Chains A and B, each alone.
Chain A
């Protein structure tokens, strides 16, 4: 599985968009980009995933660059409850395990 690089921490004001970057320059053609988050030692929570097209769901948007070497998770209107560690994970299609890095600790400030 390709390695990912994320900033260790970020801050965002409540109500603003939180943009979390992730580099995955060694990603291969059949590897997906997944985002999970972990709120204060709860179980990791799935957010979104994509292959090459941008994706949006009720939680977030995922923007993947055309060369697929990086992506950005966007939380459009961050709330205090979005404070968590966000993990960007690259996973081969059909592979079963998720390889978690250190993630980005996102703090939403009032």
Chain B
């Protein structure tokens, strides 16, 4: 069973298009995240949602809009795609908890290429 899954795995699209990436977790976790890994391999958080509520928004352009229909899903919609959006996008989830137990589990990534 895949704990954190993302679709699609690969996405190739033209500049200016709008696209969505979906994420689902079957771990029963309360919190979900989107991270971006650019061509230099830096991995950086974009958003986090806790119980469908936006908690972290790390100065991401408002062309990026996360949507959490329920606790198990966090989708990422990107409007007016730009060349610089090409990256690998990782979804993750964790369970709230004290004591540093909020281990994050990552999905396999979505490789986005904007032409």
* A interface residues with partner B (beta carbon < 8 Å): 32, 34, 38, 41-46, 49, 51, 85, 87, 91, 93-94, 96-100, 102
Contacts and interface: CB of A to CB of B under 8 A. Distances in A.
Q: Is the interface of B mostly helix, strand, loop or mixed?
A: strand
Given A93-B98, A93-B99, A96-B56, A45 B106 contact: yes
B107 A43 contact: yes
Q: Is the interface of A mostly helix, strand, loop or mixed?
A: loop
Contact of A96 (B37, B41, B55): B55
Interface stretch (B44-52, B61-69, B73-81): B44-52
Given A96-B33, A96-B55, A100-B42, A44 B106 contact: yes
Nearest to A99: B45
The listed residue with most B CB atoms (<10 A of its CB), out of A42, A43, A44, A102, is A43
Interface of B: 4, 31, 33, 37, 41-45, 48, 50, 55-56, 58, 88, 90, 92, 94, 98-100, 102-109
A102 B43 CA distance: 9
Contacts of A42: 108-109
B43 A44 contact: yes
Nearest to A33: B100
B56 A43 contact: no
A96 B31 contact: yes
A5 B73 CA distance: 34
Contact of A41 (B4, B42, B44, B109): B109
Contacts of A98: 45, 104
Contacts of A91: 100
A97 B106 contact: no
Contact of B44 (A44, A49, A100): A100
B106 A43 contact: yes
Contacts of A41: 37, 88, 109
A44 B43 CA distance: 10
A68 B60 CA distance: 34
